[in-house]
Amino acid sequence: MGMLTNDVVGSISNKIGEDSAGVSSALGGLIPSILGGMVNKAEAGGSSFSSIFDMIKNQGGNLDVGGLVNQIGTGNLSQNDPRDAGGGLIGSLLGSKAGSLIDAVSGMAGIGKKSSSSLLGMAAPLVMGYLSRKISGQKMGANDLAGMLLGQKSSIMGAIPAVLSSVLGFGNTPTTATSGAKIITTPETVRSTATTAAATATARTQEAASSGLGFLKWLLPLLLLGALAWFGLRSCDTDLSEGVNNTVAAAGETVSDATDKVGEMADDAVDATSDAMTSLKETANGMWERALPGGATIEANKEGVEYSLIDFIESDNAIDEDTWFNFDALRFQSGSANIDAGYSQRQIDNMYEVLKAYPDVKLKIGGYTDSDGGEAGNLKLSQARANNVKAAIVTKGISADRIETEGYGEAHPVAPNDTPENKARNRRIAARVTAK
């Protein structure tokens, strides 16, 4: 990414007729996605990765960024065009998912599909040229390259925007350590698995409680704890046994705490009457449930963006440019435009359901930052974040022409930028209705 200077990005933008922010966002998603595909092949090992290694090695260290930029939009007719090699690599890494990646990048970055395809055609040989130089300069073999990729797996996968990771089927992969050809699950993996499993048990018990099956509040966590112990013993290498024992003990405490809290909620849910508001019903987890036109049901904060938007949509209030609603359960990775999917997915899913239920509604999504950093950088970041929110909703099935985006940077603050709390209020995503 360091080779893609502002001047280079500007040249690319002029070539494909897109704004620089969109080009930067697209390349920032494509390059780690390509590397993520290599990581998957490296984990699989064998002839599958050997063929990838040969493709990269045969690139011969070709890293002419200017040449790649000049070839954007031209015919693929020149001898030894690096885009031919890049196309072969993408086919081997992604197969039929390449088209879905192009569509997702287009929605994420707010650029045309043709532009997204052109950028993929540039990004693949760029990555190959960079790695080819590493191979040549460090006299690396296939195993050496695989080890290097696997050693940086968490950084590579973490750099892939959530919407692209979902399309490619990468998902959240566990932290691993390599020892020769053997992949060893670390205690940190078990701890992460325990935490996730405890949260799952909590959710399942809440569902059981709402159905009146209160006895499950004790049974599910006990079964979970036994499963965790088995998992820890089976998954970890012997030299990690002490760490695993500590992890499983910590998992027991996590499950115990979850059991106490879930038990209270389950009892409350079982004893609760069917008192409900006209359109909202409080659920056992403190959220509010609402049925939408068409039959879908969502859960959200009572004063959250979903219900504020619905109330506005169903009201007689005129559409204007000043009525904005702030997302209240949306978060990005620090200093990045990548959505924190684990925290934000419920709200993304809800916004999809709202737009699906009200097919005539169109939205504008605005991105905002605090005043830290440079004004130009803040404007670029806010636009990229708004684009990624749109992409996450569009990927689920909403037409892209129903959502427009704009990044406002540090303009229009809702609080003085004088305290961490006020700065956090200014770092936001908001939506307003443009048609209903």
CA–CA dist 134, 357 (Å, integer): 52
Residues paired with 297 in a beta bridge: 291
Confidence of residue 80 (pLDDT cuts 50, 70, 90): very low
12 plus 150 within the same structural domain? yes
59 part of a folded domain: yes
**Domain of 211?**
185-271
CA–CA dist 220, 260 (Å, integer): 13
Q: Provide the b/e sequence for 251-273 (b: ≥16 CB within 10 Å).
A: bbebbeebbeebbebbeebbeee
232 plus 359 within the same structural domain? no
- The pLDDT value recorded for residue 401 is 96
Q: For helices 113-137 and 20-44, what crossing angle results, to 10°?
A: 50
Is the model more confident about 375 or about 177? Answer: 375
The pLDDT tens digits of the residues spanning 169-226 come to 886 444 333 333 333 344 444 444 444 445 544 444 444 444 444 444 444 555 555 5
153 plus 231 within the same structural domain? no
Statement: residue 290 has pLDDT above 90: yes
276 part of a folded domain: no
Percent of the chain with pLDDT over 90: 30
- The pLDDT value recorded for residue 49 is 84
Name the burial class of residue 75, with classes exposed (0-12), middle (13-18) and buried (19+) by CB atoms within 10 angstroms of its CB: exposed
58 plus 163 within the same structural domain? yes
- The pLDDT value recorded for residue 308 is 95
- The pLDDT value recorded for residue 242 is 52
The pLDDT tens digits of the residues spanning 136-156 come to 878 888 888 888 899 888 889
The pLDDT tens digits of the residues spanning 326-345 come to 999 998 887 789 998 888 99
293 plus 400 within the same structural domain? yes
180 part of a folded domain: no
178 part of a folded domain: no
104 part of a folded domain: yes
214 part of a folded domain: yes
400 part of a folded domain: yes
**What is the CATH number for 375?**
3.30.1330.60
65 plus 128 within the same structural domain? yes
- When divided into structural domains, the chain yields a total of 3
Confidence of residue 324 (pLDDT cuts 50, 70, 90): very high
CA–CA dist 425, 361 (Å, integer): 27
Average pLDDT, the chain: 76
Q: Residue 166: helix, strand or coil by DSSP? A: helix
221 part of a folded domain: yes
Strand order in the sheet with 403-407: 325-326, 428-435, 362-368, 403-407
167 plus 25 within the same structural domain? yes
34 plus 156 within the same structural domain? yes
